[in-house]
Amino acid sequence: MLLAVDVGNTALNLGIYEGKELRAEWSVATDRRKTQDEYGLLLLALLEYQGFRPEQIQSVVVASSVPPVVPTLDRMFQKYFHVKPLVVGPGVKTGVVIRYDNPREVGSDRIVIAVAAYEKYGGPLIVVDFGTATIFDVISKEGEYVGGVMAPGINVSVEALFTQAAKLPRIELVKPATVLARNTVHAMQSGVIFGFAGQVDEVVARLKEEMGAAADGMKVIATGDMAELVAPETSVIEAIDPYLNLDGLRIIYERNTARGER
């Protein structure tokens, strides 16, 4: 079995694949202070809870937007699973041409998502990733990563409201019944959810306008932790695919090993 690990700024997402089937997935908080033993014991507990044995994990692939965590995970997998992980980065075959001023500025997490999205939906397409940041990734008809847009994420924005405005409370992020609000919590929920939906519609419209004929037939796909909350309120998102990051890691692993085998 293959263990795919996507290390984000907020969450560490893990998925176990048997062939192309995602058998189990977990999300835990990313913590740069955790030691290899803490991560190892946590992962062993998750596996046991789901009915897996450590020796079933024959291969590991990792992508990270938090570089300091990678050496810790590398040591952990070698100590507890006797596996050297494949870390997505320079020298790893992804199959994606990056049309960026400086390709090294594009995080491996962006490329992983682009790989999965293009393989599953073809191109051209825009992937809207609702994570720590809200990121719009643009992939051409030929599967090239041509650029993107980055904005503060939903949770980051809500936390900023709470910490920077003395009288505003922390709120539960649920869709309110109406846009017009008559209390503070409702007003914040409305502003966040419908405001981010409007942001998506406007950014996608501008991207398509700038791309002209290259945007013909362009699909818009949503992924990320908050996708299911915001995507239904937009007018442009056609599908929600929460596991693009894990699927992309599986695909990249297969492209870098003989038939995806260890």
> In the numeric block, which tokens belong to residue 212?
């002209």
Query: Residue 202: which region, alpha, beta or left (left: phi > 0; alpha: psi -120 to 50)?
Result: alpha
What are the start-end ranges of the E strands in the chain?
2-7, 11-18, 21-29, 59-64, 86-87, 125-130, 133-139, 145-152, 219-223, 239-240
What residue has token string 């924005």? 157
State the residue for tokens 């609000």: 181
Instruction: Give the whole-angstrom CA distance, residue 4 versus residue 191.
Output: 35
First to last CA, the chain: 9
Active-site choice (6, 31, 37, 109) = 109
- Residue 185 to residue 164: CA distance in whole angstroms: 16
Q: Assess whether 109 carries a catalytic annotation.
A: yes
- 88 near 4, Cβ under 8 Å? no
Catalytic positions are 109
